[in-house]
């Protein structure tokens, strides 16, 4: 049985991960489409910026988020003043940090699916008079859906394990920003907290394995649908 603190950290982690992937999906699809279908000056730079969180230390990402979206940051102050939205030291900030860290995985999966789409199908729909938005919604989107789901699963798993950017940006506040990794860290620092840390570690392992297995299954289905061979 989990203690109230453990349950709270687990539920908060699931909430943060779900919100982060839901918020990042439209951005990821737009970026993937731009990188896959358009040629423009600075494309390589944009591609590098999108994937930068994969190679940067998470603490660096969290610090930049704090500078930009903190209460004194230019974006954070504007959002709080105009819309009443605050990210600093709130679970929404943890979701933002997770979204930024998971975005490259989602963009990569969607872009690979877009690259594998038969452009002739889109051209055929366009010649029949369908507008570009309708072509994307009725032809392209169903074809890249397996890749999108795969990317969502990977981004979700990455969000569950996010630590460095979250603790740097929104600190470690029980009930507000203390996700599973932060709770594990807290319990390892507290006397007698080894059992609680071990339980949460096992839960994290189970959730991550489930996400990775689901991602592999979805990836194989996507390959079969695209005409590839099932490994």
The tens digit of pLDDT for each residue in 190-203 reads 888 888 899 999 99
Please give the structure tokens belonging to residue 225.
Answer: 């649908």
pTM: 0.86
Please give the structure tokens belonging to residue 193.
Answer: 């907290």
Give the Cα separation of 72 and 158 in Å (integer): 28
**Size of the chain in residues:** 231
Secondary structure of 72-92 in the HEC alphabet? CCHHHHHHHHHCCCCCCCCHH
The yes or no reply on domain 4-224 and CATH 3.40.630.30 is no
pLDDT tens digits for 161-177? Answer: 899 999 999 999 988 99
If you average pLDDT over every residue of the chain, what do you get? 87
Domain positions in the chain = 4-224
SS3 label, residue 100: helix
């Amino acid at each position: 049985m989990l203690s109230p603190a453990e349950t709270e950290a687990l539920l908060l982690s699931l909430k943060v991960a779900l919100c982060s992937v839901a918020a990042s999906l439209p951005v990821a699809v737009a970026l993937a489409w731009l990188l896959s279908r358009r040629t423009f000056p600075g494309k390589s730079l944009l591609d590098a910026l999108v994937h930068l969180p994969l190679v940067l230390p998470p603490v660096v990402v969290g610090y930049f988020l704090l500078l930009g979206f903190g209460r004194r940051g230019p974006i954070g102050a504007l959002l709080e003043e105009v819309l009443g939205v605050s990210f600093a030291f709130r679970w929404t900030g943890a979701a933002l940090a997770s979204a930024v860290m998971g975005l490259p995985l989602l963009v990569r999966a969607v872009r690979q699916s877009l690259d594998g789409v038969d452009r002739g199908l889109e051209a055929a729909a366009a010649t029949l008079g369908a507008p570009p938005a309708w072509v994307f919604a009725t032809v392209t989107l169903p074809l890249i859906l397996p890749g999108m789901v795969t990317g969502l699963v990977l981004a979700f798993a990455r969000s569950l394990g996010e630590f460095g950017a979250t603790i740097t940006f929104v600190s470690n506040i029980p009930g507000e920003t203390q996700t599973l990794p932060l709770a594990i860290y807290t319990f390892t620092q507290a006397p007698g907290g080894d059992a609680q840390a071990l339980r949460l570690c096992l839960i994290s392992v189970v959730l991550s394995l489930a996400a990775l297995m689901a991602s592999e299954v979805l990836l194989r289905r996507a390959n079969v649908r695209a005409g590839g061979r099932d490994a």
